[in-house]
Structure 1
Amino acid sequence: MAAPPDDMLWARGLHYAYDGSPALQGVSIGVKEGEVVALTGPRGSGKTTLLRCLSGQLLPEQGEVWFNSSPVHTLARAARERLRLRRFGWIDSSPRLVPELTAWENAALPLLLHGSGYRSARGTARAWLERLDVGDCAGKRPAALHQAQRQRVAVARALVHSPDVVFADEPTAPLHQGDRAQVLRALSAAARSHGITVLLATHDFALDQSARTADATGAALADRIVTLTDGRRARTPTTGGAAGPSAGPEGSAACSLSV
């Protein structure tokens, strides 16, 4: 079955279980190019598993995943690894930086793995660190940085090679509330300025609400919210934000967050 033409990333009927315990139970989702989608729900609701299936890290036991009209769920392991390296970015709940490398070297790793020259990779990585307000940290190693600075370096690393999609799995979990909003704004603004699609998982809906402080531009942090409960899609009420309501493949309503 071909993917819907309007969706860059699309999944249908995903099932996955860990040792017999269901993590996903028939989840379907479609994401358009350049869209920022927040995945919410309590811990254990299936958010991380969904991100890992969509990014090709896991193969669903049932269901299908499509990226740019190509079936991810039928690719061999090596092909999925190439896809993740070249077309996707990933941000974890902890930065996972290489301690021996400086901030710019950590940020430049995807480019260097792609075969970019040292000087070009350094320039691009430093530019992304500047965009994320940690340019003055470029020559420092992770141990000399604050947690929020390390997480911004991880965001730069995920964006530096201009991926089509960035998957962010609880990227603000270890941060204080003020730093959380700043990192989310930085990620959202950077992605939007470069047309990068983002799937952002968070269990902290209060964080989403706290991020809704109006600024001069009223820029949307997320175009839609998709809520998971016990591995299934749940209906999400609209908040009447700027992006307005829309419906996903399973008819779930969406809502927007403003920063």
Structure 2
Amino acid sequence: MPRILYKYLDIVGAKCMIGNQNLQFTNASQLNDPFDCHPKLIDYSNVPNTKLQGWIPKEWWIEKEENDALNLRNDTWLCSLSKINDSLLMWSHYCYNHKGICIGLDIDKVLESVPPMFGTIYLEPLVLDVQYQDIIERPNAYHTTKDLFSYQWQTKAKEWEYEQEVRLVIPKPSPIYAAFTPQQAKLTKEIWDWREIRHYMPLKGECFESIYFGVNIDEQEKEKIIQFVRKKLNPHINLYQMRVYADAFRIQPEFIKPLNSDLSVYKKRRGKVPSSIQNDVSDI
């Protein structure tokens, strides 16, 4: 698994994540794929006789196990990241037609940033590499070597494979890290759905390794973000502008050259100017 993982965001979500220095976790029941983390991914129909004990109906046991899996889904929050930063589809879907940004996160530093008791079961999120399948190959809940919890959280249809997703998964996160969005805060308490409430894990500035600006980014928004992240977030952050590739249906990052003062920071920190900076300078 790569050390740097990526989060695609529209400009509003991006500014919230950068300005608040946190990572949003969404309930597993609220994702855009109805099969995500669904109990039907696992086969509970082959109930062994040892569980039935001669008097418990098989249908009751199946319903009980599926309800347990459904409750697990409803009690689990996750954050979706990607191994890649140049997916045309994700730039279109999640970055509002290439007008947003893609944030590169150092996953090792992210896990070092996990606050005490972020989760009430696990102290820090599980990092799961999503597995993609052509059909739902449902494992037998009672005769399998698979970790059923992980299987439920990390199995997706083959159609989603282009996302190359890695998930941070936290069952039963602590409510002290829950927060309403501005839209949710306007709703009356009687119509709140607790599954729609996000949880936000604080991040240190050093977790933000890079930022990639979309092809259609608003230049004023771009400049505001550049000034903020260099001064207040992480002075060592790598910044890139995505450009249309000339010879194929691809986009590629173009390094945004640091100011002279930033170059001295790089030299002091790394002993030399990164190759991407060298190439950029030599082209001038």
* TM-score normalised over the length of structure 1: 0.26
Greater gyration radius: 2
Question: By percentage of residues, which structure has more helix?
Answer: 2
TM-score normalized by the length of structure 2: 0.25
